[in-house]
């Protein structure tokens, strides 16, 4: 059977008891392995990384939605990260023995099940999208929860599954299929949001910047910092090291230093190997040079 990765993003990043409950709920599904969880209070968001075959992962997502609904009310949710749903985004990614078609089938089956059971509108995105204008997640999420009711009234934004009105507390869900990506954030040593916004606009592909880079600027007011928050969708064309250098260079134009960077969730070894090779100026470094990788079957 094909092995898939599933990375649900939940609009709760502060209540550790709720986050623990959600993680335990998914990990209890037979055939599902919870590899990682990452929570951010400023984003008010948690990201879980699961692996398994399609049927157990579908069961885990359904269990996750059931466990989330009593605890997350978007009418009272405020965080830095854009969102349309309590369970906001659920991508399926092909791994060992799986194709993108397997991931698409899993996404569509899960979307139908979630909409039918919970009366939540579901949008399909990326490779699972039913329409070209819904492939990009940022387009699906534009307007956020607060604008969702108006968006769903427009004929072109009727959901792929579920009612044509938001769930009163949980909004909507975007479920899709995509390739591996790296969620990568760079925090800048300034509280000037316009600096992060300008850099994000400069480096993202949609504005003519780096290939495979999606980026937005966010404020981190409790830390006195701002953040360039990114998804890197094509590591072969644009590595983490290239992005770090570009952000550092652009920040310097405003007299700002990079404070730190962070990875959200898991990354493939080649992403870190590539960064190490660039900064250490190694003539050759691949995953086959990594001891732990060679020990794996």
Q: Which residues contact 181 (CB under 8 A, 6 or more apart)?
A: 231, 232, 233
Please give the Cα distance from 214 to 204 (Å, whole number).
Answer: 5
Asked if 215 and 222 touch (Cβ cutoff 8 Å), the reply is no
Please give the Cα distance from 120 to 86 (Å, whole number).
Answer: 10
Distance of CA 240 to the CA centre of its chain: 16
Asked if 105 and 55 touch (Cβ cutoff 8 Å), the reply is no
Please give the Cα distance from 296 to 5 (Å, whole number).
Answer: 19
Please give the Cα distance from 159 to 142 (Å, whole number).
Answer: 14
Q: For residue 140, give the 3-state DSSP assignment.
A: helix
Catalytic residue check, 81: yes
Please give the Cα distance from 170 to 174 (Å, whole number).
Answer: 12
- Name the residue among 22, 20, 27 with its Cα closest to residue 50: 27
Choose, from 38, 43, 77, 81, the residue flagged as catalytic: 81
Please give the Cα distance from 289 to 4 (Å, whole number).
Answer: 26
Active site members = 81
């Amino acid at each position: 059977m094909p092995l898939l990765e599933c990375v649900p993003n939940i609009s709760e990043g502060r209540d550790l008891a709720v986050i623990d409950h959600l993680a335990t709920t998914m990990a209890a599904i037979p055939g599902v392995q919870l590899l990682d969880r990452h929570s951010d209070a400023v984003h008010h968001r948690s990201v879980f990384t699961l692996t398994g075959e399609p049927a157990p992962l579908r069961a885990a997502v359904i269990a996750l939605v059931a466990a989330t609904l009593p605890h997350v009310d978007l009418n009272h949710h405020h965080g830095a990260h854009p969102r349309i749903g309590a369970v906001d985004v659920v991508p399926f990614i092909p791994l060992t023995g799986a194709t993108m078609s397997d991931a698409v089938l899993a996404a569509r089956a899960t979307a139908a099940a979630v909409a039918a059971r919970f009366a939540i509108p579901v949008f399909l995105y990326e490779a699972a999208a039913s329409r070209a204008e819904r492939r990009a997640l940022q387009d699906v999420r534009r307007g956020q929860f607060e604008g969702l009711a108006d968006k769903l009234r427009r004929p072109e934004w009727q959901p792929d599954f579920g009612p044509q009105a938001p769930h009163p507390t949980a909004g909507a869900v975007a479920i899709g299929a995509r390739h591996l990506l790296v969620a990568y954030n760079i925090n800048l040593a300034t509280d000037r949001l316009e600096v992060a916004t300008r850099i994000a606009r400069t480096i993202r592909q949609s504005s003519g910047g780096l290939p495979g880079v999606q980026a937005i600027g966010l404020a981190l007011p409790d830390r006195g910092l701002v953040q360039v928050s990114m998804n890197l969708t094509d590591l072969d064309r644009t590595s983490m090291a290239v992005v770090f250098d570009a952000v550092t260079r652009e920040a310097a134009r405003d007299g700002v230093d990079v404070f730190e960077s962070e990875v959200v969730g898991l990354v493939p070894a080649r992403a870190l190997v590539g960064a190490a090779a660039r900064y250490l100026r190694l003539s050759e470094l691949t995953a086959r040079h990594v001891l732990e990788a060679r020990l794996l079957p």
